[in-house]
Structure 1
Amino acid sequence: MANSAQARKRARQAVKLNAHNSSLRSQYRTAVKSVRKAVTAGDKVAAAAALQSAMKIIDSIADKKIVHKNKAARHKSRLNANVKALALAA
């Protein structure tokens, strides 16, 4: 347990920050899943729309350093490749 007032305050702040970051990380995962679901369903229009919104969320989360920028870039690249492959398949 924190002994000083400063340490107690930092512990309180850490709980709030962890909850906020967890929420943003969940939003990131949901965005990625929505694109994957649209690609699996074979819906080109929905996949492209989901990709656009996911790109925004992924960039935002990476800028805040909640996920590493390389991981964000990797997800964006793979999702984009999946959507493009879906468009070419038809």
Structure 2
Amino acid sequence: MANTTSAKKATRKIARRTIVNKSRRTQMRGAVRTVEEAIKSGDRNAALEAMKRAEPELMQAAQRNIIHKNNASRKVSRLTHAIAKLAK
């Protein structure tokens, strides 16, 4: 347990940030899930529309250190590749 006032404040701050980060992570995962579902259903237009929403979500999550930037780039790349395969 935190003893000093600064440690207690840090604990409160971490708790507030955790709530915000969980919300952002959930929002990001939901956006990615909609893209994956559109790809699975084979609907290229729906996948492209969902990707327009998901890519900024992923990149913002990377900027805010919710996920690593390489992780975000890899997810965008893989989803884009999967959408491109639908065209064939």
What is the CA deviation profile of residues 38-90 of structure 1, one whole-angstrom value per residue up to 9, with x for unaligned ones? 011111111000011101101111111110011001000000001111122xx
For residue 5 of structure 1, report the CA deviation from its aligned partner: 1.3
Q: C-alpha separation between the residues in 2 aligned to 1:67 and 1:56?
A: 13
If the length of structure 1 is used for normalisation, what is the TM-score?
0.92
Q: RMSD in angstroms over aligned alpha carbons?
A: 0.9
For residue 27 of structure 1, report the CA deviation from its aligned partner: 1.2
Structure 2's unaligned 5+ residue stretches are none
Q: C-alpha separation between the residues in 1 aligned to 2:60 and 2:29?
A: 13
Q: C-alpha separation between the residues in 1 aligned to 2:35 and 2:16?
A: 30
Structure 1's unaligned 5+ residue stretches are none
Whether 1:28 and 2:28 are equivalent positions in the alignment is yes
Pairing 1:63-78 to 2, within 5 Å after superposition? 63-78=63-78
Moved over 2 A (4+): none
Pairing 1:11-22 to 2, within 5 Å after superposition? 11-22=11-22
